[in-house]
Chains A and B, each alone.
Chain A
Amino acid sequence: MANMRLTRNEMPSQAPDVRNKNFLEVALGYTEQQAIDEAKRCLNCKNRPCVSGCPVNILIPDFIKEVAEGNFEKAYDIISLSSSLPAVCGRVCPQESQCEKYCVRGIKGEAVAIGRLERFVADYHNKNKNSKVNKPESNGHKVAIVGSGPSGLTCAGDLAKKGYEVTVFEALHLAGGVLVYGIPEFRLPKAIVQQEIDSLKALGVKVETNTVIGRTLSVDELFDDGFEAVFIGSGAGLPKFMGIKGENLKGVYSANEFLTRVNLMKAYKEDSTTPIMKAKKVAVVGGGNVAMDAARCALRLGAKEVYIVYRRSLEELPARKEEVEHAMEEGIIFKLLTNPTEIIADDNFSVKAIKCDEMELGEPDASGRRRPVKKEGEGITLEVDAVIMSIGTAPNPLIKSTTEGLDTTAWGGIITDENGKTTREAVYAGGDAVTGAATVILAMGAGKTAAKAIDEYIKNK
């Protein structure tokens, strides 16, 4: 008999005024009891709308049924059929706009907490795993993956499970891509990412760090080395700036630089050798998940006041609702309908303040959102000593400029068909390198689709 409670089980979390001073994970995860209780809310309905809402089509009702019966390992096996990174997805997927959005229980009451259950199952497995992974027998075919972020790791995992000899090339000294340099520890502990990568290595996936494809090796050389197909999941790339006065002052960071210093280079640790500005007042420009991450990191590094400066209103904020709520609870100040026009310097060429126009919403623009227009008046000036620009990225030109026959769009994204196939034979691509900045799960979906296409391509060669 299903549990017909209208509300879902709350996620146990660190209290806001405690967690805003540490880098430990905010959400603590369900207990076994909470998980079983929540799982029983699933009606196991015939239509399974949640499954089609998932970019990698996890068999959601099936794994939840196993959770309800306490068969957590079985639940894990079911998730694994579709996802290579369940502990990551359970944490960072925007479930509210995917699987949970379509949940029948959400029509009257709250949707089943699918993401929280996925996270529970993955954590349970990682904590209790003793089973040896069965490394699939090699089929003798080699595939190269460029980039070890979510799309690359997913593609690698799926191909390895089919017996391919997969090598992942990573430019940085550590594998994981945005999962390690971008998303902060308190949202996605790096030990979890490492476990997921170790699971892939156990399947036989090789990871070569310190290798920049387009510089250290070219795509052509990968083919020369015997790889039969290449998947490019090189990520988003060059941070954008607004082009306003003062953007090159000391104390102005791109979100990528700030987060890389904090996460990958461990500037958040007391004994870290990585320099970072311990600013007292910080303005983060932008309204996406990355902006929320940067703002919350700045707070945890000891800032007294942290502003999110965003030119539209709360309704248009592109960040996940949960992230915005977390940020607000922790004391981030939202300066909405506010658009920076200049960053002002002190005598030392460091940031002293940021000048902004006040905005109001006009007619809808091409994105369908109402266009912010400048309001009459003086505008406002926020006194800050650091500014973090989090307004998106432009594709990295390295691979495009060194790979013949690889076509890109006007803005530089790699062109692919719906299966991830590029304009160059045997080269596939997915993730932010194709779509521009998007989410972890969409990148994983693209990696998965490409893995299937690569498998078919090599089999039919």
Chain B
Amino acid sequence: MYRIFRKERLNPTVTLMEIEAERVAKKAEPGQFIILRVNEDGERIPLTVADFDREKGTVTIIFQVVGATTKLLDSKKEGEYIEDFVGPLGVPTRTDGLKKVAIIGGGVGSAIAYPIAKKLHSLGCEVHSVVGFRNKDLVILEDEFKNASDVLKLMTDDGSYGEKGLVTDALKALIESGEKYDEVIAIGPLVMMKFVCLLTKEYGIKTTVSMNPIMIDGTGMCGGCRLTVGGKTKFACVDGPDFDGHQVDFDEAIKRSSAYKEFERHAYEETCNLLNKKAD
């Protein structure tokens, strides 16, 4: 059992939880992920590490309520426990040798991009962050990004905060203005990562993306998380989750991600009903 040390609602659908997991906190690096189960008989879900505190022995996760399991997780209060929490899994994001990097975060993906920005910034790398959200209410981690970036572009789809436009608009403007990046690191919805990669390919800038497909064990046993990268089958859990974005077959990944949509919608509604009943 793992205790929820701190819980904070970042926006109406995104929640931060700091979980007491000493061994995971000791080892975690940006880019890695954990797998958790909220309760017995629950689903195993992968979430990327958003932050960690080796001294306190806590690992921070930030998640959007999208399905039954995240809804259930969101219903847990500070001081309560979750059943299982295992990690850190996957290969850490490569940060050595980078002098100037553009970090692109989309929606809740910004939460995963943040620790990478933070680490690169602390290593003395010049960090330009571009984070995008649908509207002002959904903006998260603005101050954190400010502290970890030399340049911060905050975008909203509707222009209700920051600049109006997509992250690709801002990235293109930065590149066009003459900024030269060693690498672009993009984390967000699959469609966003796909378009960032199309853009950076035009300019020949190496681009790393973080993939978060359907997964069960997270140690290479089930193969559910497989992707096509450079024409070869790769497992996100042991080969990734970071991959060369120009090699990833995004169209396939997008189709695969919808495998259980029907099931998930049904489960989500059931969970909502159950939680509402409990509240009555």
Do A and B actually bind?
A: yes
Q: Is B173 an interface residue (CB 8 A)?
A: no
Q: Is the CB of B222 within 8 A of A248?
A: no
Contact across chains for B264 and A209 when beta carbons are under 8 A apart? no
Chain A residues positioned under 8 Å from B41 (CB to CB): 266, 272-273
Query: A217 at the A/B interface (Cβ < 8 Å)?
Result: yes
Instruction: Please tell me if A239 contacts chain B, counting CB pairs below 8 Å.
Output: yes
With A171-B86, A211-B86, A248-B233 known to touch, is A398 a contact of B219 (CB < 8 Å)? Answer: yes
> Is A57 engaged at the interface, CB distance under 8 Å to the other chain?
no
The answer for the CA separation of A257 and B238 in the assembled complex, in Å, is: 15
Closest Cβ–Cβ distance, residue A444 to chain B (whole Å): 20
The interface residues of chain B lying within 8 Å CB-to-CB of A216 are 23-24, 27, 86-88
The residue on A at minimum CB distance from B224 is A257
Q: Which residues of A contact B69 (CB under 8 A)?
A: 273
Once bound together, how far apart are the Cα atoms of A97 and B280, in whole Å? 61
Interface size class of A (residues with CB under 8 A): 35 or more
- CB of A5 closer than 8 Å to a CB of B: no
CB of A210 within 8 Å of the partner chain: yes
Q: State whether the Cβ of A136 lies closer than 8 Å to any Cβ in chain B.
A: no
Contacts of B252 in A (CB 8 A): 248, 349
Please determine whether A275 and B222 come into contact, CB atoms closer than 8 angstroms.
no
Q: Chain B: which residue is nearest A170 at the CB level? A: B86
Does B84 interact with chain A (Cβ within 8 Å)?
A: yes
Do B255 and A265 touch (CB < 8 A)? Answer: no
- Contact for B228 among A215, A248, A251, A265, CB less than 8 A: A248
Nearest CB in chain B: distance from A345 CB, A: 9
Mask, A281-309, CB within 8 Å of B = 1, is 00000000000000000000000000000
CB distance from B32 to the nearest CB of A (A): 8
A234 nearest in chain B by CB position:
B219
**Within 8 Å CB of A256, what residues of B?**
221-223
> Which chain A residues lie closer than 8 Å to B263 at the CB level?
275
| Beta-carbon contact of A238 and B83 below 8 Å | no
User: A238, B221: Cβ atoms under 8 Å?
Assistant: yes
* Chain B contacts for A260, CB-based, 8 A: 216-217, 221-222
Q: Please report whether the interface of chain B is mostly helix, strand, loop or mixed according to DSSP.
A: mixed
- Contact: A265 with B27, CB < 8 Å? no
Chain B 50-90 interface 0/1 with A at a Cβ cutoff of 8 Å (1 = within):
00000000000000000011000000000000011111110
Chain A residue at smallest Cβ distance from B271: A273
Q: Which A residues are CB-close (under 8 A) to B258?
A: 250
Residue B256, interface by CB 8 Å: yes
How far does the alpha carbon of A277 sit from the alpha carbon of B44 in the complex, in Å?
Answer: 17
Q: With A and B bound together, what is the CA distance between A398 and B238 in angstroms? A: 8
In the complex, are the beta carbons of A171 and B219 less than 8 A apart?
A: yes
Contact B223 A212 (CB under 8 A): no
Closest to B84 in A: A173
Q: Is A370 located at the chain interface by the 8 A CB criterion?
A: no
Name which of B221, B222, B259, B264 has the most chain A CB atoms within 10 A of its CB: B221
Residue of B nearest to A210 (CB): B86
**Which residues of chain A are within 8 angstroms of B27 by Cβ–Cβ distance?**
215-216
Once the chains are docked, how many angstroms separate the CA of A215 from the CA of B267?
A: 32
Q: Provided the pairs A216-B27, A238-B238, A254-B223 are in contact, do residues A273 and B68 lie with their beta carbons within 8 angstroms?
A: yes
Q: Cα distance A238–B220 when bound, in Å?
A: 5
Contact with B along A242-278 (1 / 0, CB 8 A): 0100011011011011001100011000001111010
Residue B44 contacts which of A173, A237, A238 (CB distance < 8 angstroms)? A173
| B87 A215 Cβ-Cβ under 8 A | yes
Question: A238 to B218, alpha carbons, bound, how many Å?
Answer: 11
B residues 179-233 with Cβ under 8 Å of A?
216-224, 226-228, 233
Q: How far is the CA of A237 from the CA of B252 in the complex (A)?
A: 24
Q: Is A397 an interface residue (CB 8 A)?
A: yes
Known: A238-B223, A256-B223, A257-B224. A173 touches B255 (CB 8 A): no
Q: Is the CB of A265 within 8 A of B223?
A: no
What's the Cα separation between A173 and B85 when bound, in Å? 9
**Does A396 make an interface contact (CB < 8 A)?**
yes
In the bound complex, residues from chain A placing their C-beta under 8 Å from that of B87 are: 212, 215-216
Q: A398 CA to B91 CA in the complex, in Å? A: 10
Is B222's CB under 8 angstroms from A239's CB? Answer: yes
Whether, in the assembled complex, A172 has its beta carbon less than 8 Å from a beta carbon of chain B, the answer is: yes
Min CB gap A284→B, angstroms: 15
- Asked if residues A257 and B255 are in contact (CB atoms below 8 Å), the reply is no
**CB closest residue in chain A, given B39:** A273
Please report the C-alpha to C-alpha distance between residue A260 and residue B226 in the assembled complex, in whole angstroms.
16
Question: 1/0 per residue A187-220: CB within 8 Å of B?
Answer: 0000000000000000000000111100111000
Identify the A interface with B (CB < 8 A): 171-173, 181, 209-212, 215-217, 235, 237-239, 241, 243, 247-248, 250-251, 253-254, 256-257, 260-261, 265-266, 272-275, 277, 349, 396-398
Seed contacts A211-B23, A238-B221; 10 additional CB < 8 Å A-B pairs? A171-B219, A209-B84, A215-B89, A247-B233, A248-B226, A248-B228, A248-B256, A250-B259, A251-B259, A265-B44
B binding-site residues for A, Cβ under 8 Å = 23-24, 27, 37, 41-44, 68-69, 83-89, 216-224, 226-228, 233, 235, 238, 252, 255-256, 258-260, 263-264, 267
22 A/B residue pairs, CB under 8 Å, sorted by A: A173-B84, A181-B217, A209-B84, A211-B86, A212-B87, A212-B218, A215-B219, A235-B221, A238-B220, A241-B223, A247-B233, A250-B258, A256-B222, A257-B222, A260-B216, A261-B216, A273-B42, A273-B69, A275-B259, A275-B264, A397-B238, A398-B219
